[in-house]
Amino acid sequence: MSDDLPTQRVALTLVEAVEALGISDDQLSATMLALLSARPVVAPVPRVTLRPEEAAAALGVSRDFFDHNIAPELRAIRRGRLKLYPVRELVRWVETSAARLLDS
Protein backbone atom coordinates (compact mmCIF):
# COMPACT_ATOMS: atom_id res chain seq x y z
CA MET A 1 0.00 0.00 0.00
CA SER A 2 1.20 3.53 -0.60
CA ASP A 3 2.57 5.71 2.17
CA ASP A 4 -0.06 8.45 1.67
CA LEU A 5 -2.96 6.34 2.97
CA PRO A 6 -4.11 7.14 6.49
CA THR A 7 -2.86 4.71 9.11
CA GLN A 8 -6.44 3.68 9.98
CA ARG A 9 -6.98 2.38 6.43
CA VAL A 10 -3.64 0.56 6.05
CA ALA A 11 -4.81 -2.41 8.06
CA LEU A 12 -8.24 -3.73 7.17
CA THR A 13 -10.37 -4.84 10.03
CA LEU A 14 -11.40 -8.47 10.10
CA VAL A 15 -14.96 -7.49 9.25
CA GLU A 16 -13.86 -5.51 6.19
CA ALA A 17 -11.62 -8.34 5.02
CA VAL A 18 -14.43 -10.88 5.37
CA GLU A 19 -16.85 -8.62 3.52
CA ALA A 20 -14.31 -7.99 0.76
CA LEU A 21 -13.80 -11.73 0.27
CA GLY A 22 -17.53 -12.44 0.28
CA ILE A 23 -17.29 -15.05 3.06
CA SER A 24 -20.61 -16.01 4.65
CA ASP A 25 -21.10 -16.00 8.42
CA ASP A 26 -21.36 -19.80 8.40
CA GLN A 27 -18.10 -20.16 6.48
CA LEU A 28 -16.40 -17.72 8.82
CA SER A 29 -17.68 -19.56 11.90
CA ALA A 30 -16.52 -22.91 10.55
CA THR A 31 -13.11 -21.52 9.62
CA MET A 32 -12.63 -19.82 12.99
CA LEU A 33 -13.69 -22.97 14.83
CA ALA A 34 -11.23 -25.04 12.81
CA LEU A 35 -8.42 -22.58 13.51
CA LEU A 36 -9.17 -22.40 17.22
CA SER A 37 -9.45 -26.16 17.65
CA ALA A 38 -6.41 -27.01 15.52
CA ARG A 39 -3.58 -28.54 17.47
CA PRO A 40 0.03 -28.35 16.44
CA VAL A 41 1.27 -31.46 14.68
CA VAL A 42 3.66 -33.27 16.98
CA ALA A 43 5.57 -36.38 16.02
CA PRO A 44 4.60 -39.38 18.16
CA VAL A 45 6.99 -40.07 21.00
CA PRO A 46 7.99 -43.72 21.46
CA ARG A 47 6.76 -45.15 24.76
CA VAL A 48 9.42 -46.53 27.09
CA THR A 49 7.01 -47.70 29.80
CA LEU A 50 3.52 -49.16 29.84
CA ARG A 51 0.77 -49.28 32.46
CA PRO A 52 -0.26 -52.79 33.57
CA GLU A 53 -3.29 -52.95 31.25
CA GLU A 54 -1.14 -51.79 28.32
CA ALA A 55 1.61 -54.28 29.17
CA ALA A 56 -0.96 -57.10 29.29
CA ALA A 57 -2.37 -56.04 25.92
CA ALA A 58 1.13 -55.79 24.43
CA LEU A 59 1.79 -59.39 25.50
CA GLY A 60 -1.59 -60.56 24.27
CA VAL A 61 -2.90 -61.72 27.65
CA SER A 62 -5.67 -60.65 29.99
CA ARG A 63 -4.93 -58.22 32.80
CA ASP A 64 -5.75 -60.95 35.36
CA PHE A 65 -3.34 -63.42 33.73
CA PHE A 66 -0.68 -60.71 33.54
CA ASP A 67 -1.08 -59.80 37.22
CA HIS A 68 -0.88 -63.40 38.44
CA ASN A 69 1.57 -65.06 36.06
CA ILE A 70 3.81 -62.47 34.43
CA ALA A 71 4.07 -59.35 36.60
CA PRO A 72 5.76 -61.17 39.52
CA GLU A 73 8.69 -61.93 37.19
CA LEU A 74 9.08 -58.33 35.98
CA ARG A 75 10.86 -55.31 37.36
CA ALA A 76 8.46 -52.37 37.68
CA ILE A 77 8.59 -48.67 38.46
CA ARG A 78 6.31 -47.69 41.34
CA ARG A 79 5.42 -44.12 42.26
CA GLY A 80 2.52 -43.96 44.70
CA ARG A 81 -0.33 -45.94 43.15
CA LEU A 82 1.20 -45.71 39.68
CA LYS A 83 2.96 -48.82 38.37
CA LEU A 84 4.84 -48.81 35.08
CA TYR A 85 6.61 -51.61 33.25
CA PRO A 86 9.58 -50.72 31.04
CA VAL A 87 9.11 -51.96 27.47
CA ARG A 88 12.65 -53.35 27.58
CA GLU A 89 11.67 -55.43 30.60
CA LEU A 90 8.72 -56.89 28.70
CA VAL A 91 10.98 -57.70 25.74
CA ARG A 92 13.53 -59.30 28.09
CA TRP A 93 10.77 -61.41 29.69
CA VAL A 94 9.51 -62.57 26.29
CA GLU A 95 13.01 -63.54 25.15
CA THR A 96 13.75 -65.36 28.42
CA SER A 97 10.40 -67.15 28.48
CA ALA A 98 10.69 -68.21 24.85
CA ALA A 99 14.18 -69.57 25.52
CA ARG A 100 12.85 -71.61 28.45
CA LEU A 101 10.23 -73.23 26.20
CA LEU A 102 12.88 -74.21 23.68
CA ASP A 103 15.20 -75.62 26.36
CA SER A 104 12.61 -77.85 28.02
Distance of alpha carbon 55 from alpha carbon 84, whole angstroms: 9
Residues 79-97: pLDDT tens digits? 999 999 999 999 999 999 9
Rounded to 5°, angle at Cα 66 from 65 and 68: 65
37 in Cβ contact with 48 (< 8 Å): no
Residues 38-83: pLDDT tens digits? 777 778 889 999 999 999 999 999 999 999 999 999 999 999 999 9
